[in-house]
């Protein structure tokens, strides 16, 4: 039998082993808990990073979408007063802006458009002297005691409006506190508006002083300017009446090949033949336009994508029946767009042109719908 001392030693050994095992278990538990905590923290950090990236991406999409709508709007009119009003409205739509104004001088004549403030209260804005052009001008205002707080503007930022002929004036936005009304991406958007305002103002001014001819000399069709004027009217009418509207933009494939085979006179005759095919009885001449060297457009009121595709198919088939000359077989590519609820004339036409570019790049001789 074991002695009492031996039993005591054995018990002590067992107890020591149990204690050591417990310590190892607690240490392992602590290590697993620490590893789990680190993993959760890393996962949380990754989720936070993904959330920030998503928020930044959404902000970029918002800003780019806003800029696209603004630039399309500026290109959608040839009326000078409307260009100025659209510039002021676009600037006034930026967050933190209480009012906006654009002041320009063309051929010595001042022009002002404003939103949220009386245009007559907007004086001329000038940049600092010196050779370097200012990127922006900051303004601040102080009012007499007792003046109406509702009409007070405490700060403003103005960016220059320039064209190829030099500085035309400034586009300004106003805020109701002392901080600048725009910063960061909003300031960049304001610069983008001003940057596109100059050419739009130039174009509108040239149109008002020397109107372009309404028809294309070679084909007798209405030209690109007439196309945009017609689209603006037809889109407004379709929206009011709740009706459909489609645009088909057609491009002659490989016109340079036609020039090589037929010569310039022969290529011109081909363009005239295409214009005649487009003006068949089902397509009144006032709905057909030549909007570029080898590009035509057809406006189809009360029609949708399927109608436009059928029109393109008829024209393509008729083109295939033209007499062959020197082995050259002409064909057309087409881009088609159907009116959407948020379309204006510019956005509708640009969607059709994007579809045309896609067709030219991927499947010449075919039509693509936007």
At residue 330, the pLDDT reads: 77
Given a cut of 60, whether residue 68 has pLDDT beyond it is no
- Between CA 324 and CA 334, with CA 328 as vertex, the angle to 5 degrees is 100
Q: Which residue has the higher pLDDT, 61 or 135?
A: 135
Q: Which residue has the higher pLDDT, 66 or 86?
A: 86
Distance CA 307, CA 300 (A): 8
Average pLDDT for 154-179: 86
Average pLDDT for 296-310: 91
Average pLDDT for 71-89: 71
Distance CA 10, CA 162 (A): 98
The chain-wide mean pLDDT, for the chain, equals 77
Q: Which residue has the higher pLDDT, 111 or 369?
A: 111
Query: Among 20-24, 27-31, 138-142, 237-241, whose mean pLDDT is lowest?
Result: 20-24
64, 65, 248, 322 from 369: Cα distances, Å:
23, 21, 9, 26
Cα 121 from chain centroid (whole Å): 32
Q: In the chain, pLDDT over 90 holds for what percent of residues?
A: 8
Residue 247's pLDDT band (cuts 50, 70, 90): very high
Structural domains in the chain, CATH included, are: 80-209 (3.30.450.40), 224-369 (3.30.70.270)
């Amino acid at each position: 039998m074991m002695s009492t001392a031996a039993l005591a030693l054995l018990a002590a050994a067992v107890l020591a082993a149990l204690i050591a095992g417990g310590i190892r278990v607690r240490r392992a538990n602590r290590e697993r808990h620490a590893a789990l905590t680190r993993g959760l923290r890393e996962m949380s950090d990754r989720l936070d990073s993904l959330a920030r990236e998503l928020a930044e991406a959404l902000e970029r999409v918002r800003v780019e979408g806003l800029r696209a709508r603004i630039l399309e709007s500026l290109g959608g009119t040839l009326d000078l007063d409307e260009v100025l009003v659209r510039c002021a409205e676009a600037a006034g739509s930026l967050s933190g802006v209480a009012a906006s104004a654009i002041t320009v001088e063309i051929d010595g004549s001042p022009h002002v458009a404003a939103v949220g403030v009386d245009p007559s209260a907007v004086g001329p804005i000038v940049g600092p002297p010196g050779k370097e052009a200012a990127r922006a001008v900051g303004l601040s205002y102080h009012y007499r005691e007792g003046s109406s707080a509702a009409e007070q503007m405490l700060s403003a930022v103005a960016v220059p409006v320039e064209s190829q002929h030099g500085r035309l004036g400034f586009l300004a936005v106003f805020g109701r506190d002392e901080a600048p009304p725009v910063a960061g991406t909003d300031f960049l958007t304001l610069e983008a508006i001003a940057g596109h305002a100059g050419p739009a103002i130039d174009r509108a001014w040239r149109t008002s002083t020397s109107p372009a001819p309404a028809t294309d000399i070679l084909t007798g069709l209405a030209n690109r300017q007439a196309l945009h004027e017609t689209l603006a009217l037809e889109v407004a009418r379709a929206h009011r009446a709740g009706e459909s509207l489609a645009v088909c933009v057609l491009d002659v494939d490989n016109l340079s090949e036609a020039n090589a085979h037929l010569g310039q006179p022969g290529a011109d005759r081909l363009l005239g033949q295409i214009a005649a095919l487009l003006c068949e009885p089902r397509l009144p001449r006032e709905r057909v336009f030549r909007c570029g060297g080898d590009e035509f457009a057809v406006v189809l009121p009360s029609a949708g994508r399927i109608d436009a595709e059928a029109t393109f198919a008829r024209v393509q088939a008729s083109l295939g029946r033209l007499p062959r000359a020197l082995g050259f077989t002409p064909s057309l590519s087409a881009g088609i767009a159907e009116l959407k609820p948020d379309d204006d004339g510019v956005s509708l036409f640009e969607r059709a042109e994007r579809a045309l570019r896609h067709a030219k790049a991927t499947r010449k001789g075919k039509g693509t719908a936007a």
